[in-house]
Amino acid sequence: MKNVAVYYRVSTDKQDIASQQTAIETWLAHLHPDKIPKSISYFTDEGISGKTDNRPAFKEMIDAAYAGKIDTIIVYRLDRFSRNATSAIRMLLNLDEFGVAFISVTQPVLNLSHENPFRRTMLAAFAEIAELERETIVARVRAGLDAARKRGVALGPPRKINDQMRDEAQRLRGAGQTMREIAGILKISVGSVAKLLQNELASSVEPGL
- Digit-by-digit pLDDT tens for the chain (209 residues) are 889 999 999 887 667 789 999 999 999 999 888 889 999 999 999 988 888 888 999 999 999 999 999 999 999 988 898 887 778 888 888 888 898 999 889 988 788 877 777 777 777 776 676 666 666 667 777 777 777 777 776 666 656 677 788 888 888 888 888 888 888 888 788 888 888 887 554 444 444 44
The CB-side HSE value for 62 (13 A sphere, CA atoms) comes to 17
In order of start, what are the domains of the chain with their CATH numbers?
3-126 (3.40.50.1390), 148-201 (1.10.10)
CA distances from 194 to 174, 197, 200, 209 (A): 14, 5, 10, 19
Q: What is the 3-state secondary structure (H, E, C) of the chain?
A: CCEEEEEEEECCCCCCCHHHHHHHHHHHHCCCHHHCCCEEEEEEEECCCCCCCCCHHHHHHHHHHHCCCCCEEEECCHHHHCCCHHHHHHHHHHHHHCCCEEEECCCHHHCECCCCCCHHHHHHHHHHHHHHHHHHHHHHHHHHHHHHHHCCCCCCCCCCCCHHHHHHHHHHHHCCCCHHHHHHHHCCCHHHHHHHCHHHHHHCCCCCC
Tell me the whole-structure pTM to 2 decimals: 0.60
